[in-house]
């Protein structure tokens, strides 16, 4: 039996394990990777995120998954579906998100993984998925476009009021 919930030609999507903590902390604590987030995350923050994702998976059968590169079994980062409930006129909603180590940027991994997560959402019969990024995060926005998501609108993220440099976000969506 495979440890993976689903795969692509290069990626394996799975639940989080305690053994992921060091590698995921390295990704989350990298200021370059975390440029469009409030701040880099500590080991404790990373563990809390992994625990939240496990709870979300137990509840909804999806989360921001742990993603491995199949060839090496190295942890690429996280790509998956989240449940957003912050104050906005489009929440609660299913969100597509991705965060990978910079070693693997510009190799098509995020696009490949994001498309696979949309397929997974279809299997779960989720009718609509959104994705959002700070308006300056052009690389993330490009991925949304590549996988067929459509621009919906720009908005001020209610949880980023203390971070005006990243608060303005672009929202994309797709009906499945």
Domain ranges in the chain? 6-175
Specify the pLDDT at position 4.
97
Specify the pLDDT at position 141.
98
Specify the pLDDT at position 49.
98
- Is 25 in a helix, a strand, or coil? helix
- Answer for the pair 60, 83: CB distance below 8 angstroms, yes or no: yes
Specify the pLDDT at position 174.
98
**φ, ψ at 24 (rounded to 5°):** -70, -35
Specify the pLDDT at position 70.
97
Specify the pLDDT at position 40.
97
Q: Which residues of 19-41 are buried (b: 16+ CB within 10 A; e: fewer)?
A: ebeebbbbbbbbeebeebbeebb
Name residues of the chain where pLDDT drops below 50.
none
Q: Which residues of 124-133 are buried (b: 16+ CB within 10 A; e: fewer)?
A: eebeebbbbb
Question: Tell me, which fold does domain 6-175 have in CATH?
Answer: Aminopeptidase (3.40.630)
């Amino acid at each position: 039996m495979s440890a993976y919930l689903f795969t692509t030609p290069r990626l394996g999507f799975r639940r989080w394990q305690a053994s992921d903590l060091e590698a995921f902390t390295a990704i989350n604590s990298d200021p370059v990777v975390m440029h469009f987030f409030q701040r880099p995350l500590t080991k404790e923050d990373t563990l809390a995120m992994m625990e939240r994702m496990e709870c979300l998976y137990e509840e909804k059968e999806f989360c921001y998954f742990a993603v491995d590169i199949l060839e090496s079994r190295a942890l690429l980062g996280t790509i998956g579906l989240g449940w957003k409930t912050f104050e906005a006129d489009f929440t609660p909603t299913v969100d597509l998100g991705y965060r990978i180590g910079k070693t693997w940027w510009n190799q098509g991994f995020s696009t490949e993984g994001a498309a696979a997560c949309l397929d997974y959402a279809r299997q779960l019969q989720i009718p609509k998925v959104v994705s959002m990024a700070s308006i300056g995060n052009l690389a993330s926005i490009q991925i949304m476009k590549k996988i067929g998501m459509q621009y919906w609108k720009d908005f001020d993220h209610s949880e980023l009021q203390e971070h005006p440099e990243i608060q303005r976000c672009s929202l994309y969506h797709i009906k499945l």
